[in-house]
Amino acid sequence: MLARKSIIPEEFSLPGLASRLPRKPVFRDRVNKARFIAKNGSCNLAHKNIREQGRFLQDVFTTLVDLKWRFTLVIFTTTFVSSWLLFAMSWWLVAFAHGDLDLVQHNDTHCVTDVKSFTSAFLFSIEVQVTIGFGGRMITEQCPAAITVLIMQNIVGLIINAVMLGCIFMKTAQSNRRAETLIFSRHAVIAVRNNRLCFMIRIGDLRKSMIIGATIRLQVVRKTTTPEGEVIPIHQIDVQTETAVASNSMFLLAPLIICHVIDKNSPLYDLSAMELQCSDLEVIVILEGVVETTGITTQARTSYISEEIQWGHRFVHIVTEEDGVYSADYSKFGNTVRASTPRCSARELDEKPSILIQTLQKSELSHQNSLRKRNSMRRNNSMRKGAAAGSSANMRRNNSGLALTKVQFFSPSEGGQSPNAVT
């Protein structure tokens, strides 16, 4: 059976009307993506399938410095013990070849005195390499081979000491240790500054020793696709800051707010507040400088993903002047307050400057309304307090106006009546 044809034309039906309505942009939920740089500055990158492992052995010193402490200490101990055992075997062979180990045959010309076993040879090897010299064992001039072994052990011991102690020193004086006291704000903010949308972060140095020639660099890392169809998974885009003069050099004496103006050259130019939350970009911040006390170049890093960027916020002021001294309150280092900021992108703000004016006017009106409400509440509270004070005063006057009446009782007595007044 054929379906009955509708009297209403199809273009005027509900599906037809719904298809012609303008659709609002649909923002999909952001897929959780691994960040390139962690908050503590470590790189989230794993190197796999490296075939030429021998390249690491060509730079042994850097490889030892890059190793973890437990591996470095194991290599440190193993190297010294192995050298002691190796030269202990050499001293034992010298004594064995010279006949010093033969207890039956008395030999007055020993190569090394009191070396009668491998244990005594091992102890003598330790005494020679670390220059302890207890005095019980000593080399004589009867064996040229013993003199040769002594020279070789001294040279090898000096080389091992130089490499191992240098490695330990470089590990303890690494530049990333100084970066532990260079801090960044937990969140980044976007707000209006000088009638322009700006991306801002806060940096600070906890130590009194300064960072000389401190420079700041910002990069946006995102996945992009070229017009030819090539997909770049990690595309790094440099971002300019307000301190672009003199290669971003700054005087990091107190906590500073680093500002990036979102203009047409910024990768954030087309992002609105809603689109920012759905994007997968990552802003990397790199702070470099020379440590004043050691002269070593240090670098501190961090990153901000879209969830860590607060739109319409501004950092609170933490530097104040107290008794002629400037003080920084680091308990409020990452605190922010709301600021009147348009939710549109910087491109829309440049095309329609009236949006900013309307936003500021609404903010001013809301501020005035809040002030009126606050003043009215204060007046109401003061009126209530005055009424309460007046009523209490009236009650006191009424209570004080109530007089106690006196009642007189007459009792008969001799020669007349004497009144007794009782209240």
- The CATH number given to whatever domain includes residue 63 is 1.10.287.70
Q: How far apart are CA 203 and CA 126, in angstroms?
A: 52
DSSP H helices, 59-188, are 60-66, 69-98, 118-129, 144-172, 175-178
Element holding 300 (H helix, E strand): strand 297-305
pLDDT at 234: 85
Comparison of pLDDT for 313 and 98, the residue scoring more: 313
Total structural domains in the chain?
2
Under a CB-based contact definition with an 8 Å cutoff, are residues 268 and 283 in contact? no
- Statement to judge: residues 210 and 344 lie in one domain: yes
pTM of the model: 0.66
157 φ, ψ to 5°?
Answer: -65, -40
pLDDT at 116: 84
147, 157, 165 from 81: Cα distances, Å: 22, 11, 15
Q: What is the tens place of the pLDDT at every residue in 308-362?
A: 999 999 999 998 888 888 888 999 998 999 988 888 888 888 888 777 766 766 6
Comparison of pLDDT for 329 and 373, the residue scoring more: 329
- Statement to judge: residues 169 and 182 lie in one domain: no
Element holding 319 (H helix, E strand): strand 319-322
Say which range, 90-94, 249-253, 353-357, has the weakest mean pLDDT. Answer: 353-357
pLDDT at 284: 93
pLDDT at 78: 93
Tokens for 182? 């260079």
Residue where one domain finishes, among candidates 140, 173, 206: 173
Say which range, 101-115, 211-225, 255-269, has the weakest mean pLDDT. Answer: 101-115
3-state secondary structure (DSSP) of residue 209: coil
Closest Cα partner for 252 from 291, 219, 218, 283?
A: 291
119, 140, 239 from 100: Cα distances, Å: 14, 12, 76
**Domain housing 104:** 54-173
- Statement to judge: residues 278 and 182 lie in one domain: yes
- Statement to judge: residues 109 and 231 lie in one domain: no
pLDDT at 407: 43
Q: What is the tens place of the pLDDT at every residue in 265-282?
A: 888 988 888 988 888 889
